Amino acid sequence: MPWFVKIEKGIVDKNTFDQYVQPHKAYVHELIAKGHQAKTGYWKELGGGMLLFKAQSLEEAKNIVEQDPLIQNNCVKYELHEWQIVVE
């Protein structure tokens, strides 16, 4: 399965964003349980972060991203990219 990267930037105030952090984490745990090897985190020095995960296709990756509570609640804008690994 190829890797995909969702790079995001927060677009709401911290209090609003923080309401959806736990649902986002729960969602990532679901992705892990389903075999997507998901990892999530934030930029320490900036607002925003990244979700790294595996999916069968770009279409599946888009569907995965659209289910993220941070997306569903309009907390972030994002870019989605397939990551072509050069060295493992």
Q: How far apart are CA 52 and CA 50, in angstroms?
A: 6
Task: From 32, 37, 23, select the one nearest 75 (Cα to Cα).
Answer: 23
Position 44 scores a pLDDT of: 83
Q: How many residues does the chain have?
A: 88
Summarised one tens digit per residue, pLDDT across range 26-82 is: 999 999 999 999 999 998 877 789 999 999 999 999 999 999 999 999 999 999 999
DSSP-based three-state secondary structure for 8:
strand
Buried/exposed code over 37-75 (b: 16+ C-beta within 10 A; e: otherwise): ebebeeeeeeeebebbbbbeeeebbeebbeebbbbeeeb
Q: In the beta sheet, which residues pair with residue 42?
A: 49
Position 46 scores a pLDDT of: 73
Domain parsing of the chain, residue ranges:
3-83
**Domain 3-83 CATH class label:** alpha beta
The model's pTM: 0.90
